[in-house]
Amino acid sequence: MTDAKPAQPESPKNPGSSAAGDSAAGRSSGDTIMGRAVVDRGWATKDELEKCREIQQRLPPGTKLTDVLVQKEVVTRRQLARLQKELEADRGQSAIPGYQMMRKLGAGAMATVYLAKQVSLDRLVAIKILPRKYSSDEGFIARFYKEGRAAAKLNDQHIVGALDVGQAGEHHYFVMEYVDGDTVHERIQAAKRIPEREALLLVKQVAKALKHAHEKGFIHRDIKPKNIMISKAGVAKLADLGLARAVSDREAAEAEAGKAFGTPYYISPEQARGLREITPAADIYGLGATFYHMITGRVPFEGKNPTEVMKRHLSEPLTPPDHIVPDLSQGTALIVEMMLAKDARDRYQNATQLLEDLECALTGAETVHARPSGAFMSSLAGATSPADPDAPVPVLPGSGKGLPWAMIALGALLLASLLINAYLLVSKR
Ligand SMILES: Nc1ncnc2c1ncn2[C@@H]1O[C@H](COP(=O)(O)OP(=O)(O)OP(=O)(O)O)[C@@H](O)[C@H]1O
Ligand SMILES: [Mg+2]
């Protein structure tokens, strides 16, 4: 996903640089920027560009390079218009006071992220720049600043730190800690499946981030592989915490239509339902769906479109992860299933409980909270009545589906033995 193009020294993102050499060669800096951008996008090779430049030199003064590029059918007018717009947007970004833009790191559904240097502290940061269209939504901008400021108070090594929020021209931006590494999404794409222990260790670090955030009153609402970054030192960091969302969770999910990896694959049933009251359990579900994807190489529920995927989150039983990967430990399989319980009350009630079980799975001990029949027994007991949403998931020590079956089997044995004895008595007579 990461667009790791090298910084272009003469790019408009680096206002300090000059195009003096180009002027000497009779080229305008605009031509140079457009020319480079055309090559950067793979629309023309360097040779093709150079040939067009030579033609330009032979044409009357004032002829633009872009005119030649169109004439020679290297690019279309439409492509050029789009490129012009993008470059203008970049020029806007270069105006963020105190930051030197370096290169694009990536782009998501909502914004583009750039690597930049914070001049005062001489450090690298990542800056997320929102598209202009958000500027007119006052309610959203107010939330953007409020949540950004609140997030700056979070302090955890597993959370991508929020450093600054502001406005440059028509663009609002969010400055955050730069993570030099990759994302869980990229790891899944590269390896298809992440080995169980590695996945457990990553999930544990994100669970720590959630514990910190939830205790401070934050709910992430968009836990997914793309939002979990892994630094080169192997530290997992949860990104986008404190980044306000412009639309509802359901709308955001629907906007993902047509994408292979999108929000609906990790959305909790309560968010898919469009409920406003979202609790930390939604993040536990999102992390559970991410965990499932890591260890099985598959998302929990697939579908033709986002709506279908969301419906499945709501009602389709989960294929247990160990049915896909049989050598998975029982502990891990149970943890994932509990994280993905459809009813929020059947999930871990907080990240601390989840951390306890993850530790058990890592040490090979029996999980404390996730039990083979936890949900089954609680539904029998009717202990999680809708009137009591905070009721803990009842976990009976040593309980299991095995218990009623054992009693039935014992009864059947007794009956069989009675019948045999009766038969023997009758046959002796
Ligand atoms: N703090 C950061 N440090 C380094 N790279 C980052 C950072 N934050 C984001 N990125 C990069 O920028 C990309 C885009 O991030 P962004 O949050 O805009 O979208 P996303 O999370 O990938 O997807 P979506 O928009 O669907 O949520 C990420 O995939 C990642 O590669
Ligand atoms: Mg993100």
HEC profile of 284-295: HHHHHHHHHHHH
The alpha carbon dihedral of 104, 108, 112, 116 has a sign of negative
User: What is the Å distance from ligand 1's center to 328 Cα?
Assistant: 30
Q: Is 183 in the pocket of ligand 1 (CB under 6 A)?
A: yes
Q: Which of 222, 249, 283, 322 is catalytic?
A: 222
- Between CA 36 and CA 34 the distance in angstroms is 5
pTM for the structure as a whole: 0.68
Give me the amino acid identity at 167. Q
- Domains in the chain: boundaries: 15-88, 99-177, 182-380, 402-429
Q: Is 150 in the pocket of ligand 1 (CB under 6 A)?
A: no
Query: Could you say which ligand is closest to the alpha carbon of residue 241?
Result: 2
Residue 403 CB coordination number (10 Å): 13
Fold of 99-177: Phosphorylase Kinase; domain 1 (3.30.200)
Q: Provide the residue-wise pLDDT of the chain in tens; the chain has 429 residues.
A: 333 333 332 233 333 333 333 443 455 666 777 888 888 788 888 888 899 899 999 998 888 898 999 998 888 888 888 888 777 666 555 578 899 999 999 888 778 899 999 999 999 999 999 888 777 888 888 888 888 888 888 999 999 999 999 988 888 999 999 999 999 999 999 999 999 999 999 999 999 999 999 999 889 989 999 999 999 999 999 998 877 665 555 665 555 444 433 458 999 999 988 887 889 999 999 999 999 999 999 999 999 888 899 999 999 999 999 999 999 999 999 999 999 999 999 999 999 999 999 999 999 999 999 988 744 444 444 333 333 333 333 322 333 333 445 455 555 666 666 666 566 555 555
CATH architecture of the region 182-380? Orthogonal Bundle (1.10)
Q: Where are the beta strands (DSSP E) in 211-263?
A: 228-231, 236-238
If you take atom 28 of ligand 1, which residue's CA is the nearest one?
106
DSSP 8-state class, residue 246 = S
- Between CA 367 and CA 271 the distance in angstroms is 28
Give the SS3 label for residue 335: helix
Q: Is 241 in the pocket of ligand 1 (CB under 6 A)?
A: no
User: What is the Å distance from ligand 1's center to 38 Cα?
Assistant: 24
DSSP 8-state class, residue 297 = S
- Between CA 62 and CA 60 the distance in angstroms is 6
Helices (H) and strands (E) in the chain, counts: 17, 8
If you take atom 9 of ligand 1, which residue's CA is the nearest one?
113
Does residue 222 have an active-site annotation? yes
Q: Please, are residues 199 and 147 in contact by the beta-carbon 8 Å criterion?
A: no
Burial class (CB in 10 A: 0-12, 13-18, 19+), 228: buried
